[in-house]
Amino acid sequence: MVLYGYGSYETSIDPSFSVPRLSLLDRGVVFAVAHVRGGGELGRGWYEAGRLTSKRTTFTDFVACARHLVDTGWTAPDRLVAEGASAGGLLVGAVANLAPELFAGVLAGVPFVDALTSILDPSLPLTVVEWDEWGDPLHDPEVYEYMRSYSPYENVREGIDYPPILATTSLNDTRVLYVEPAKWVARLREAGAPALLKIEMEAGHGGVSGRYARWHEIAFEDAWVLDVLGRA
């Protein structure tokens, strides 16, 4: 099973058809979407309950979804991959620290994993407007400490049996700079985690341009997923 999550900006992740996902389905992989707080699937209150200094509920909701799927027999920890991109990359990065034992792998696309460092820098083009979503750690010590408590990079620890982790990013990404996943993967490796970094050299936050180029990129990710699930 691949469990996908996002959980930010009141964005609703509705189930949708995906041609390249058929490759996973044909190999017996179930695809599920976790509607965690911070998203908009259950209205404004659902979003408000997963932002600012309530952000950790986004991560604990995802863990709860994973545990439910295991407990009800849909999957098992050695057959479950967590996937998220951008703010969803922050989600799965945080989950890797919270409950690494629940997952066979973590796939993080253009992941916002050094959130505290970026949100502290108002010279970055998106930082100040992002304070409405995450809070302002530059001027509010409570927000600083809260973000530090969940930011994936800040919370990598030695002695944790991390699952295999794949982080993908793009050199020209101006929303989540490639240095974030690069720093994260370096720290994970220092902690003994089996982490892999893939950098697309001619793309931005949305990945490569062109349908076939995009499918080629997804094929790489799917091959990694199938490998960690033992379905390759």
Cα(232)–Cα(228) distance, rounded to whole angstroms? 8
Cα(79)–Cα(55) distance, rounded to whole angstroms? 27
Helix-helix angle 87-98:56-71, to 10 degrees: 60
- Catalytic pick from 8, 86, 151, 170? 86
What type of residue is 87? Answer: A
Cα(172)–Cα(36) distance, rounded to whole angstroms? 29
Q: What share of the chain is helix, strand, coil (3-state, %, to 5)?
A: 45, 15, 40
Cα Rg, the chain, nearest whole Å: 17
Catalytic residue check, 173: yes
Distance of CA 177 to the CA centre of its chain: 15
Whether the CB-CB separation of 67 and 34 falls below 8 Å is answered with no
Catalytic residue check, 16: no
Catalytic residue check, 35: no
- Catalytic pick from 114, 136, 173, 222? 173
Best CA proximity match to 165, nearest among 225, 102, 75: 225
Catalytic positions are 86, 173, 205
